[in-house]
Structure 1
């Protein structure tokens, strides 16, 4: 039995990931401002990523991996509040995980953060400073000395895992409306990355009819495609 922490466990990809880990028989610390209910294998933990001391307490254990899946919702957030969650909150989690002795930090990021695209123009208009925050927190994780894997995802959708095989490449794609992935499938990829991706690696992950799947993703990709 392994022990994981999911920061951002109450919704979206983090919720799917928490369920996957619990179903597999692992122990999960489900961290969120409004954490999910306690159930077998899941320990809810109320904490805000903007609270540095709170994150230090939450991530004090030597987890097998800490996942950061936090997003910010709503279109009326200020640039400062968006940065406080997306960038400063991630830094708080990285520092706390490192101090607690976590074996690996898995960061959910966004495809093409370092490349211009019209989709990024829209995202930055809706969530001011989003692209800068994404890029800078990736750089901070790489410079932290913490063992890490960065998973960059495209457009997120809701739906069941197993529709198409999962593909992964080194970062190379622009963010567009063609590449996509179900949140349930992305959770599978995050779990596979925590368990088997090379240390200090970064990947674009998406669904494709016949996409490339590195060794750490190959078995889970085949299972997804078999559904």
Structure 2
């Protein structure tokens, strides 16, 4: 059944693809952005800023459901900013009588050892529903797709480095997922009665270390195996400065991502497969698709 759906972060990595998929399914998509005059993606652009409650009231009026893809990883005070943004959005959604908020969060155990980034993602899950709108949360690790920050770091490290420094975090296990599968899950839980108010873990078929991801990505591209230089005492601060130096990610984002790489992020609950059945793309195929999309975008 077609619905009127608001997508925040509509011009972003995940949001832009969700807008396209929803529109293809026949939904009335409102693509929320701070600069609607610049938007050229799927759906109808609407002005909105999570720091401006009045703009949210206007954007959400008459909507059935809303996707929330907002974060401030490039800010030093991202935890406070993201918390207030989630409160604003949840309150505006409740006032507009939205029936479902769908949020993409992060994997990781619910304990005190979560990094600030992942801890903030957990807090946002709660704050979005604080005013009473049911929240469906999908928790994911690294999303493999052209334009994604984590994937771009992987791709650029493989492209730029003759050798790979190996601080301790490169051995941390993660469960990457292809962009196409994240989008399929996000669209699949829309208005699904068994998904309302629930939290699901999503991931691809393989659990890999960050170092294994780099080596596999290099192999897919026909590059020689990356030699490693073991630097076990490389601090998170130095690791993030190194990433910012050899990739185009900014220092604040690099630091927040590196801090999260100490946490194992793997799927322990596969209940999403009952809601949205279907196999997921393997890591190598996800890398091939990301590279093909990058090539197509450059043409």
TM-score, length-scaled by structure 1: 0.73
Q: Give the C-alpha shift of residue 84 in structure 1.
A: 4.9
Structure showing greater Rg: 2
Decide whether the 8 Å contact of 1:10 with 1:34 is kept in 2.
Answer: no
Aligned position for 1:32:
33
SS in 2 for 1:195: coil
Distance 1:29 1:152, change over 3 A: same
Residue 114 of structure 1: CA displacement? Answer: 2.5
Note if contact 1:155-1:179 (Cα within 8 Å) is conserved in structure 2: yes
Extract unaligned runs of 5+ from structure 2: 147-171, 207-266, 287-299
Which residue is equivalent to 2:205? 208
Q: After TM superposition, give the deviation of residue 64 of structure 1 in Å.
A: 2.4
Q: Residue in 2 aligned with 1:168?
A: none
Displacement over 4 Å in runs of 4+: 222-225
Per-residue CA deviations over 1:3-34 (Å, capped at 9, x if unaligned) read 11001111111111011011222111101223
Q: Matched residues in 1 for 2:108 and 2:46: separation?
A: 32
The residue number in structure 2 matching 1:65 is: 65
Between the two proteins, the alignment pairs up a number of residues equal to: 195
TM-score of the superposed pair, with normalisation by structure 2: 0.57
Contact 1:113 1:131 in 2 (8 A): no
Q: Is the 8 A contact 1:13 1:184 kept in 2?
A: no
CA 1:12–1:115 in structure 2 vs 1: closer, same or farther (change >3 Å)? farther
What's 1:146 paired with? 133
Evaluate the alpha carbon distance shift between residue 113 and residue 14 of structure 1 in structure 2; reply closer, same or farther with a 3 A threshold: farther
Q: Cα deviations across residues 165-198 of structure 1 (Å, max 9, x unaligned)?
A: xxxxxxxxxxx54301123321211111123243
Residues 157, 85 of structure 1: alpha-carbon distance in 2 compared, 3 angstrom cutoff: farther
Taking a change above 3 Å as real, the CA distance of residues 58 and 67 of structure 1, as seen in their structure-2 partners, is same
Q: Name the counterpart of 1:89.
A: 85
Gaps of 5+ in 1: 125-129, 160-175
1:111 shift after superposition? 0.8
> Is contact 2:100-2:133 (8 Å) kept?
yes
- What is residue 49 of structure 1 aligned with on the other side? 50
Q: Structure 1 residue 158: deviation in Å?
A: 0.7
Distance 1:3 1:113 in 2: 34
CA distance in 2, matches of 1:113, 1:51: 33
Name the SS for the 1:194 alignment partner.
coil
Deviations 1:42-84 (A, max 9, x none): 11112211112211221122x221010113353xx221xx235
- Mean Cα deviation higher: 3-12 or 141-150: 141-150
CA RMSD of aligned residues (A): 2.9
Matched, 1:105 2:101: yes
Deviation per CA, 1:75-114: give whole Å up to 9, x if none: xx221xx235422112211111111111111111111162
Q: Measured at CA, do residues 2 and 223 of structure 1 come closer, stay the same or move farther in structure 2, by a change above 3 Å?
A: farther
Is the aligned partner of 1:178 residue 2:161? no
Task: Name the CA distance, whole Å, in 1 between partners of 2:60 and 2:204.
Answer: 32
Does residue 14 of the first structure (1) align with residue 1 of the second (2)?
no
Pair 113,13 (structure 1): closer, same or farther in 2 beyond 3 Å = farther
Q: Tell me if structure 1 keeps the 8 A contact 2:204–2:280.
A: no
